[in-house]
Structure 1
Amino acid sequence: MPDQNNRNTIIFVVCAFLILMIYQFAVIEPANKKRAEAARQQAPAGATLAKPGAPLAAPVVTREAAVAAAPRVPIATPSVKGSLSLRGARIDDLFLTQYREKLDSPAPVELLRPEGTRYAQFTEIGWTGANVPGLPNANTVWTLASGSTLAPGQPVTLTYTNGQGLTFTRVISVDDKFMFTVTDTVANRGPVPITLAPYGSVQRQGVPATLGRNSVVHEGGIGWLKERRNLKYGKWQKDGSSPSYASTGGWIGMTDHYWLTAMIPAQNEQIEGQYRLTKVGSTNLLDANFIGQPRTIAPGTQVSATTRVFAGAKAAPVLESYQDKLGVAHLDEAIDWGMLWFLTRPIHTFLSFIHGHVGNMGVAILLLTVVVRLVFFPLANKQYESMTKMKKVQPAMEELRKKFKDDPQKQQQELLALYQREKVNPLAGCLPIFLQIPVFFALFKVLTVSLDMRHAPFIGYIRDLSAPDPTTVFNLFGLIPWDPGTMPMIGSLFAYGTPPGFLHIGALPILYGITTWLTTAMNPPAPDPIQQRIFQLMPLIFTFIMAQFAIGLLVYYTWSNILTALQQYVIMRRFKVDNPIDQLIGKITGKSKAVG
């Protein structure tokens, strides 16, 4: 029958989702924890030689020791601070001053760290050529020819002479955001021509276990080489080096959730880009690199190549400005807009517009939810009217099912006749649901990738909309100074007093569960007792599932549930159908509230 088919479809989708989530928590999460523990016990191996552009493994030293081991040029801009190493002429010491590493710490986000440290990440630019001796490499110490601090409007010039007829000059400048511009010049003072090609790479020596686990946002190799080229950290380390991608211009690099480090060649340069894996002992050395076209330098002449380095936050307006002003192809594709990009992009733009006017990301989410509900109001009205009519005729349907339980064909004929008399279409509620599903996923994506969510406060105890609800029911949301880890039997499940993800039920997840139950209770009951039990358990199950997501998502879904319940309530009152809100009011007041 139509109504049963509709419910069976919904049940199938819900069960499939639940199976995936159970697999995630029961299989994938334990495996990730084992890998994380193994990663913590690993240490990079000793040094090895590599071809130009490939990473070198080095002994593990402290960050301070690595920075002090080479002469440096300070970097100071309104957005970043750090230093440029004269050994290798690398950008390898960089902090993002406008973003904090942790909510309760003033320490800025660390983006790049020198080779030799644990999980080193840095950039390298240079020249490569076959049988050309004396090319500068990672150990070459450059001379600071001019400038003292790399800052906006204050470039620095580095020089190196290899003693074999080649002089290298490197001019590095930086803007007030996250873009470095490196112009390399090679002068041939020797007696024979040489052929060199420019290259650039972003290198990472070992990947922290916390990276690459996000199934919603891409983390790993990323670039635009004729098209978007992604390689997740996990797949990269498992499958090894990628093929080479030919492109004219474009860019290539590595990304985490909110941060990007990318090499940007001249946009008219013919390049070959690649994600490379080099294994040194138990350490995976990752390298996102490009090689440009060879240049033949005759004696007494020189050639130049300009490469830009983006090292900073994936703020959409900043990426779009570089894309427009510098002509960097598709740089805003560094943000993982997903398959529904045609929805996520405008929704993100509109959310940012609201945020810019109200100044509070939580309030912006509430207002965005209202706008989305208004857009879908006509469709939702038809959906809720259909469901309300179905609930109104439910008693009559149950009577027909009992009366003709031994004659399914007659039962279906009588039900169809009932639908016609009451002008009920059991399938009328399906189309609005299917039309809203893409927007549902697009909003989920937007609230996950948005940099504005990170460390964004809302009200009260909600200080970071990008993090899960910090409260927990096990200590009455912080009211009781008690360590849940001391609980008999299950105390061993807690680490440092914090319950594991599937038990971390805070205040907002509970409110989300209540509002989800309310909207579910307003729907017509399923004809089958097993189906009824599944729908009754869904709010509880989804409460545990959603509790682990960012609280900003819960703000959206809870507020959306409240608006949905209000819209359903008005319609049910109009059609004089009993509803859980009136029933609850009746129990509280001791009176039965009429629906007329």
Structure 2
Amino acid sequence: MDDQNKNLILATALSFAVILIWFVLFPPPEAPVAPETAPATITAQTDGGTAPISGAVATAADSAPAASAAAASEDIANAPRIAIETARVKGSLSLLGGYIDELALKDYRETLAPESEIVSLLAPRGEEEAYYAFFGWVAAQNLAPEDVPNGKSLWTLETGETLTETTPITIAWQNAKAMTFRITLSIDEDYMFTATQSITNASGESIAVAPYGMLVRHGVPADLKKFFILHEGLVSMADGTLTEASYDDFTDFPVDSNYTGVFNKVTQVGESGWTGFTDHYWMTSLIPTTSGPFKSTAIYSEASDIYQTQAILPRSEVAAGASSSSEIKLFAGAKEWETIREYQNEGGVSKFLDSIDWGWFFFLTKPIFAVLHWLNGVLGNMGVAIIALTLLIKALLFPLAYKSYASMAKMKELQPQLEKLKKDAGDDKAALQKEMMALYKKEKVNPAAGCLPILMQIPIFFSLYKVIFVTLELRHAPFFGWIRDLSAPDPSSFLNLFGLLPFAAPGPESILAIVSLGVLPILLGVSMWVQQKLNPAPTDPVQAQIFAWMPWVFMFMLGRFASGLVIYWIANNTITFTQQYLIMRSHGYKPDVFGNIKRSFSRKKPEAK
């Protein structure tokens, strides 16, 4: 077998091994378990000492006995609410506790069906998968826990009626010591809330408080993917340091005995940054904007299965008769690259683009997506943009490909000389190797050059897979015809003759989905098979069989990948075939593609050339 075929086998085997490892590392997601919810006592420790932060229905600050779960749920359901309505979101704020606990994203639906529900991001306490945000103060100097608003405090609407892009609202609560706490909420045209927290101290004595913002999640989300390639859970930035923790990681946090109950906690301190929870496509983040260091704390209560993250600002002294204010922003919405980039570049949110999970190959995934997003804006179709991106990548790699295919053509020209060397050397393998190396050096040929273009594609393939899987812009992005979601597998199937037979194709939960190949996976297999025919099959029958099966094995393995990735692979195969054919012809070797195809259907053993 000649060195060219050895190189091709090596490169193909490496690609095959990488795909196998990929399937082991990134198995299909497990079915999620619906979480149980329960009230919890949530506290935080500040410079002023340990004090409760109201994060659930009942807190340690409550002097009266806790109400029953049914009564608490009824109180929550009947509490007065303030509507939130903008062009992109709708929801409400509960005046009982001041929770932002209803928020839906108008621009996104759960499925492709036109009648599908719009995506719901936040949910009130008492509901399954409760998920909410709120703002408050930690009591410090001259204040008891009951002197600051908590989860049972009933706020009053002081100004405004509905929270919109143009009309902020202010809610207020006064304690028994004549201190008035106010939260003024505004929202921009996208997903950024601004909470301005102020205190007017008419108590006659100096006090100290630590303002905070908190995000609370009851249980893990039901649609948790559990893909190794995708991070879901805590995402936090402090002075340029990114921290990520899955929901399972929360249980590994150190236990803090200063808290009421048993809590796992981890803390970061920074001058700038943010903290929040990230899902596959959606995210919430607290972003302190008041100057000075802030404390970012992630906490898990195993007893109640509640996850939370909070941003606590420095303790503020408020003299008698004086006022004090601070500001924390809340991002609650879709992880749109362009929107998040604007918040980072124009809004000053430090490294906010890192909230998108770019992965280990971030040095490739970030520029790849930036170019893909630009191409989509120019071409108006994400599938066409993927094909155009493939052309750009092949153009960048063209010098390497040119040298590789030129070397392969030269190797074909040297075949007669190589065969003569083999004949002369006989069984002396060392002498043969020495003579072959001398010939390669003389003719300036690198026998390993044929592997390089294929090997270079592996990190690019992984990076593009990451981009297509994690970025929102590919979700529900159509191509043409039946491909209506480039982030999902090809929905067509040869089992029902691509829709001609009167029954549906097997769903993803069926084992038949593995063999239920659509049009794109079949085109992928054919493109790989035709690309093989640029060279004659190996003379060794076993190696010839491996080559014969390889395209169809890849076809089944990649068949359930996202359509966008399969489109990239088909385009890459097509461009590679064209490049290799033209370059090899320009160097005097004319690949006998049709002859090799004809011989592949023959029962005769392939002849060496």
Provide TM-score, normalisation by structure 1: 0.85
Within 1, Cα distance between the matches of 2:358 and 2:54? 31
The answer on 1:559 being equivalent to 2:571 is yes
Q: CA deviation at 1:414?
A: 3.6
Q: Please give the secondary structure, in 1, of the residue aligned with 2:189.
A: coil
Contact 1:53 1:200 (C-alpha < 8 Å) held by counterparts: no
Within 1, Cα distance between the matches of 2:231 and 2:212? 25
Q: CA deviation at 1:511?
A: 1.0
Within 1, Cα distance between the matches of 2:69 and 2:465? 40
- Of 556-565 and 205-214, deviating more is 205-214
Q: Please give the secondary structure, in 2, of the residue aligned with 1:429.
A: helix
Within 2, Cα distance between the matches of 1:84 and 1:544? 49
Q: Please give the secondary structure, in 2, of the residue aligned with 1:244.
A: strand
Q: Residue 548 of structure 1: which of 553, 556, 560 is its match?
A: 560
CA deviations 1:129-154 (Å, max 9, x no partner) are: 24443311122121011111100110
Q: How do residues 139-218 of structure 1 correspond to structure 2 at under 5 angstroms?
A: 139-218=152-231
State the superposition RMSD in angstroms: 3.2
The answer on 1:354 being equivalent to 2:354 is no
Within 2, Cα distance between the matches of 1:111 and 1:226? 28
Aligned to 1:108: 118
- Of 108-117 and 410-419, deviating more is 410-419
Aligned to 1:79: 88
Corresponding letter in the other structure for 1:114: P
Task: Label 1:9 to 1:569 Cα distance change in 2 as closer, same or farther (>3 A).
Answer: closer
Within 2, Cα distance between the matches of 1:116 and 1:406? 81
Corresponding letter in the other structure for 1:275: A
Q: How do residues 272-311 of structure 1 correspond to structure 2 at under 5 angstroms?
A: 272-280=295-303, 284-311=305-332
- Of 439-448 and 217-226, deviating more is 439-448
Task: Label 1:9 to 1:505 Cα distance change in 2 as closer, same or farther (>3 A).
Answer: same
Corresponding letter in the other structure for 1:93: E
Q: Residue 522 of structure 2: which of 510, 516, 519 is its match?
A: 510
Q: Please give the secondary structure, in 1, of the residue aligned with 2:40.
A: coil
CA deviations 1:339-369 (Å, max 9, x no partner) are: 3333333332222222112211111222222
Q: CA deviation at 1:215?
A: 2.7
Q: Please give the secondary structure, in 2, of the residue aligned with 1:471.
A: coil
Q: Residue 220 of structure 1: which of 229, 233, 245 is its match?
A: 233
Q: Please give the secondary structure, in 2, of the residue aligned with 1:353.
A: helix
Within 2, Cα distance between the matches of 1:11 and 1:535? 9
CA deviations 1:451-502 (Å, max 9, x no partner) are: 22111111110111111111223222222123667xxxxxxxx778x55653
Q: Which blocks of at least 5 consecutive residues in structure 2 are unaligned?
A: 44-51, 59-67, 254-263, 602-609
Within 1, Cα distance between the matches of 2:330 and 2:54? 17
Within 1, Cα distance between the matches of 2:54 and 2:533? 60
Aligned to 1:268: 291
Contact 1:453 1:466 (C-alpha < 8 Å) held by counterparts: yes
- Of 85-94 and 524-533, deviating more is 524-533
- Of 209-218 and 349-358, deviating more is 209-218
Aligned to 1:235: 248
Q: CA deviation at 1:113?
A: 1.1
Q: CA deviation at 1:329?
A: 0.9
Q: CA deviation at 1:420?
A: 4.9
Aligned to 1:50: 42
Task: Label 1:134 to 1:24 Cα distance change in 2 as closer, same or farther (>3 A).
Answer: same
Aligned to 2:498: 477
Contact 1:404 1:411 (C-alpha < 8 Å) held by counterparts: yes
Contact 1:387 1:524 (C-alpha < 8 Å) held by counterparts: no
Aligned to 1:491: none
Contact 1:179 1:310 (C-alpha < 8 Å) held by counterparts: yes
Contact 1:93 1:113 (C-alpha < 8 Å) held by counterparts: yes
Contact 2:55 2:151 (C-alpha < 8 Å) held by counterparts: no
Q: Residue 92 of structure 1: which of 101, 112, 135 is its match?
A: 101
Within 1, Cα distance between the matches of 2:74 and 2:424? 84
Corresponding letter in the other structure for 2:499: G
Q: How do residues 23-62 of structure 1 correspond to structure 2 at under 5 angstroms?
A: 23-24=24-25, 29=28, 33=30, 36=31, 39-40=33-34, 42-44=35-37, 46-51=38-43, 52-53=52-53, 55-56=55-56
Within 2, Cα distance between the matches of 1:280 and 1:13? 48
Aligned residues, how many? 566
Task: Label 1:531 to 1:585 Cα distance change in 2 as closer, same or farther (>3 A).
Answer: closer
Q: How do residues 465-544 of structure 1 correspond to structure 2 at under 5 angstroms?
A: 465-482=486-503, 498-499=510-511, 502-522=514-534, 533-544=545-556
CA deviations 1:61-107 (Å, max 9, x no partner) are: 9xx98974321111111111111111121211111111112111442
Corresponding letter in the other structure for 2:517: I
Within 1, Cα distance between the matches of 2:172 and 2:453? 66
Contact 1:212 1:220 (C-alpha < 8 Å) held by counterparts: no
Q: Residue 406 of structure 2: which of 365, 370, 385 is its match?
A: 385
Q: CA deviation at 1:193?
A: 2.3
Within 2, Cα distance between the matches of 1:384 and 1:423? 14
Task: Label 1:14 to 1:557 Cα distance change in 2 as closer, same or farther (>3 A).
Answer: closer
Q: Please give the secondary structure, in 1, of the residue aligned with 2:331.
A: strand
Q: CA deviation at 1:573?
A: 3.8
Q: CA deviation at 1:407?
A: 1.9
Q: CA deviation at 1:435?
A: 4.8
Contact 2:526 2:551 (C-alpha < 8 Å) held by counterparts: yes
Corresponding letter in the other structure for 1:49: T
Within 1, Cα distance between the matches of 2:4 and 2:265? 50
Within 2, Cα distance between the matches of 1:402 and 1:242? 73
Q: CA deviation at 1:171?
A: 0.6
Task: Label 1:395 to 1:538 Cα distance change in 2 as closer, same or farther (>3 A).
Answer: farther
Q: Residue 571 of structure 1: which of 577, 583, 591 is its match?
A: 583
Within 1, Cα distance between the matches of 2:512 and 2:224? 19
CA deviations 1:29-77 (Å, max 9, x no partner) are: 5xx53xx36x14x533x4333324474379999xx98974321111111
Corresponding letter in the other structure for 1:346: P
Q: CA deviation at 1:194?
A: 2.1
- Of 260-269 and 231-240, deviating more is 231-240
Corresponding letter in the other structure for 1:78: A
- Of 294-303 and 539-548, deviating more is 539-548
Q: CA deviation at 1:13?
A: 3.6
Q: CA deviation at 1:118?
A: 1.2
CA deviations 1:168-204 (Å, max 9, x no partner) are: 1111011111111110111222243222111112221
Within 2, Cα distance between the matches of 1:435 and 1:257? 28
Contact 1:220 1:230 (C-alpha < 8 Å) held by counterparts: no
Contact 2:537 2:596 (C-alpha < 8 Å) held by counterparts: no
Aligned to 2:445: 424
Within 2, Cα distance between the matches of 1:378 and 1:65? 70
Aligned to 1:251: 274
Identity over aligned pairs, percent? 37
Q: CA deviation at 1:292?
A: 1.4
Within 1, Cα distance between the matches of 2:553 and 2:508? 23
Within 1, Cα distance between the matches of 2:54 and 2:181? 20
Within 2, Cα distance between the matches of 1:403 and 1:529? 25
Aligned to 1:123: 133
